[in-house]
Structure 1
Amino acid sequence: MPFLLELAWRDLRASGRSLWVFCVCLLLGVSLIAATGGLYRQVGASLQAESRSLFGGDLEVESRASLPPGVLDWMNARAGCRC
């Protein structure tokens, strides 16, 4: 085991610049993953908050017979509603 530690220490001293490049790449990768996760949560929350208006549509009612006045009143009361 001491031999492996000594070998690792020698390699680390000899390739110090490569170690810094590796650390910078590792830091950049972790930062990008964290930023992507945060962006994903933010977009998901905004889509969930606006899902009703994004996926909502118009309603069209067709009937061969005339609708009862109570049903028409109910529909007219909710015509502009964002319920």
Structure 2
Amino acid sequence: MSAPAEPMVTVSLRKKEAEAISYGIADVLCWVNGFNAARDGTDLETGPLGTKELRDMNIKLKDALDKADAQTKEPQK
């Protein structure tokens, strides 16, 4: 018997909100990359946690924004 499907979560955002969040996530990820590059050769063993999850979230946001753009470009029936 297989495990039950995990429930889905939906977050509703206006397009401008989603774009602003996506840009903010991209900025944080850019900062993290710089931080990680600068810490090479130091005694810091780990960088900020959660970057993979943040990157995954930004990919999902960008995909949703692309779908929203495609819907607005489709001819009305």
* Structure having the higher Rg: 1
Greater per-residue helix proportion = 1
TM-score normalised according to structure 1 size = 0.36
TM-score normalised according to structure 2 size = 0.39
Q: Which has the higher contact order (CA 8 A, sep 6+)?
A: 2
